[in-house]
Structure 1
């Protein structure tokens, strides 16, 4: 009996670990709160754009419906970069090893064009890399999404961020540990400035590189908390995939 129980626990161990690592938590910083979700290198982190018919997923629910066919589901997810009106990504997009949109290295309008911007890459480890450095020495990415601006670059805040800015939005992004073993996804629980969001990643989470995904349309899916934010259809979506319960 004990042997059978031990075998059952061993079989369930990978799924149990994935779910433990998938737990999101609330972190307070200077009177602000953020919801933070983490994934470790080797976990099944994917970036989703189009379904099997080539149509944008647009929502967490549609991603989950597609994953159900492989006996999987999202543990957590969020929007993963800026997109055009038809939901095409503005910059680089790699989905399951296929490049769907090229990298953009020129300055331009809006937050995306506020250089330096960057790329979030999922390979054997996680990377957040400034876009021009990425283009010059490109790592192997199974999934990748370009967005901007960078929040933190080598431990320094983006040079254009203003301490006294009055531009506040609910914002979300991703940062990685120095060794690339952890990706930390965060969304503010109330409107914040770029400077506040960057300092949260640098000073509260201690991460040297972090990338802004978007603001005002920012949304989170957290299966453990029963949270699934609603809003207009999204472009790229990043999520941690786990075996379906």
Structure 2
């Protein structure tokens, strides 16, 4: 069943291109939308502020601020009430907020957490301790938590029978850093359900939780633009 889902997903994505290849995948009786980006033809960037210095907050403001059409956008990490990023945030090569390495309250502080790092030739999800030791040069980066999958293993605190279910979104990348999967659940799911989707269906060894109740997806080619609360960082995908 898993192999069939992967085959159908791969065929669809090969024939129609990323933004037109956001597909519904059912895993453990839960529906997820999986959007896959190929960095050979597309670019991923992070955006926080409008030209006037105020937080963008929504997809319409993002579209107005971009100099290229947006193929895909998604909320891109956790943020404070004033919409400042909670952890590391790098936009267009400039570090706006620093890396947070200590444990703390909430999902972000449930270590291990991690960083989604976009470089010129690849994108990776990197556990925070590893990131702190290696300090890769990211053109765009957002820190969030918890990690969903760490080197092929699920986060140690995820329980199959957990009662905590929310709408969630996350990101994972292939081992060579060329393919990125953006995922949002279409209903409430547990961490364990989302993490096993990345590991067992998408074949991802490292995946990162981005957020919960504010999870939103924007795919203009499919006529989708989820409403919801104002966002902090926003991930955008454009064609090269």
Normalised by the size of structure 1, how large is the TM-score? 0.88
Alignment correspondent of 1:11: none
Q: Distance in 2 between matches of 1:221 and 1:211?
A: 19
Gaps of 5+ in 2: 1-13
Which structure: larger Rg?
A: 1
Per the TM alignment, residue 57 of structure 1 is displaced from its structure 2 partner at its CA by 0.6
| Distance across 1 between alignment mates of 2:166 and 2:178 | 29
What per-residue deviation string (whole Å, max 9, x for no partner) do you get for residues 89-138 of structure 1?
00000000000000000000000000000000110201100011101101
Q: Which residue of the partner structure matches residue 156 of structure 1? A: 153
Deviation at 1:22, TM superposition (A): 2.5
Query: How far apart are residue 41 of structure 1 and its match?
Result: 2.1
Shift of 1:207: 0.6
Query: How many equivalent pairs are there?
Result: 223
The one of 25, 30, 34 equivalent to 2:23 is 25
Question: Aligned to 1:63, what secondary structure does the other structure show?
Answer: helix
Q: CA deviation at 1:53?
A: 2.0
**Structure 1 counterpart of 2:9:** none
Give the alignment's TM-score, normalised by structure 2. Answer: 0.90
- Which of 217, 222, 226 is 1:229 aligned to? 226
CA RMSD across the alignment:
1.3
* CA drift at 1:46: 0.6
| Structure 1 spans left out of the alignment, 5+ residues | 1-16
SS of the aligned residue for 1:83 comes to coil
Task: Work out whether 1:82 is the aligned partner of 2:78.
Answer: yes
Determine the structure 2 residue equivalent to 1:101: 97
CA displacement, residues 9-62 of structure 1 (integer Å, 9 cap, x when unaligned): xxxxxxxx9x72322111111211110111122422111111222211110110
Distance 2:216 2:18 in 1: 20
* Matches for 1:39-54 after TM superposition, within 5 Å: 39-42=37-40, 43-54=42-53
Task: Report the counterpart of residue 3 of structure 2 in structure 1.
Answer: none
After superposition, residues 108-127 of structure 1 pair within 5 angstroms as 108-123=104-119, 124-127=121-124
Following the alignment from structure 1 to structure 2, what is the Cα–Cα distance between the partners of residues 50 and 211?
23
CA displacement, residues 200-243 of structure 1 (integer Å, 9 cap, x when unaligned): 11011111100000001111101121011111110011010238
